[in-house]
Amino acid sequence: MKTFSFILTPAVLMLLMAAGWTSAYKPVILVHGILSGPRSFKMLTGFIKKAHPGTEVTAIDLFNYGNSTEPMWNQVEGFGKVIQKIMEKSPEGVHLLCFSQGGLICRGLLSTLPNHNVHSFIALSSPLAGQFGVPDVLLRYFPLSARELVYLLCYTKDLQESISMCNYWNDPHRRRRYLKYSNFLPLLNGEKPHSKMAAWRKNFLRIKKLVLIGGPDDNVITPWQSSFFGFYNHNEVVVEMKEQTFYKKNTFGLKTLDTRGDISVCSQPGVKHVKWHSNKKVFDKCIKKWLD
């Protein structure tokens, strides 16, 4: 009996791919952060395609740059419509990688889309538990120099309906105002009870893996542990995720994910906020394996 050896040369690989033989990597959807756009993901897209040839990578071209300051629920709805269409074409499921403010937008759509098929939700340096610091690039939107005074602007009906960061501004010294006026983050966290809590929790728990990425040298996310669902108490001492009330009460499914073993935390020092999606070390250590 004759046997044949088969050598997979680059030329043969290109022919196979051209004929439709590709890897079974799930599509990857990228959602940008505030005052940014899809072009910020150019290097990350390259990392993904080099590591996983044939992967379909889509950086959503929506609410770019100045438009990224529109209210969060508007963005959740807009991004949700586009992502829903991608998911409908991908019955095998998709991965969702969301940077900075984009992580909260993705939390919103994962909570409100009942039939999503997201496998890995990767939150890349995102203020998941809120923000209590004004980055320099946002000072023109917030003329008050002291962060302790931002609540005077953000905790009002007008700014809740006009500026995205106000929707997740979390002043640990103004808890009552936060719960009264904020119309986004406390609803996602289940800190402000509402009739859709059970449905949103069920929807969020459809994800197979929650990947949290951040680090102490970010210099924008404040506190940086917000990337891991940690946040300040009234003394500005950081309370870690498992000690947060929303974790203990399992209001949106975070404790369930943890109990399932489906939360991965990746901390990387030495990375500034604007460099997360272009850092090869971060990709190799924190992202790559969750896109298989």
How many alpha carbons fall within 13 Å on the CB side of residue 5? 2
CB 59 within 8 Å of CB 38: yes
- Say how far apart CA 161 and CA 130 lie, in whole Å: 17
The catalytic position among 164, 218, 227, 277 is 218
- Say how far apart CA 243 and CA 246 lie, in whole Å: 9
Annotation says 258 is catalytic: no
Annotation says 100 is catalytic: yes
Burial of 1 (0-12, 13-18, 19+ CB in 10 A): exposed
Annotation says 218 is catalytic: yes
The catalytic position among 100, 120, 125, 126 is 100
Beta-strand relationship, 231-232 and 94-99: unpaired
> What is the biggest distance separating any 2 CA atoms in the chain, rounded to whole angstroms?
83
Helices (H), 137-231: 151-154, 157-160, 175-181, 185-188, 197-204
The catalytic position among 32, 116, 273, 277 is 273
CB 83 within 8 Å of CB 58: no
- Say how far apart CA 276 and CA 177 lie, in whole Å: 33
> Annotated active-site positions, please?
100, 218, 273
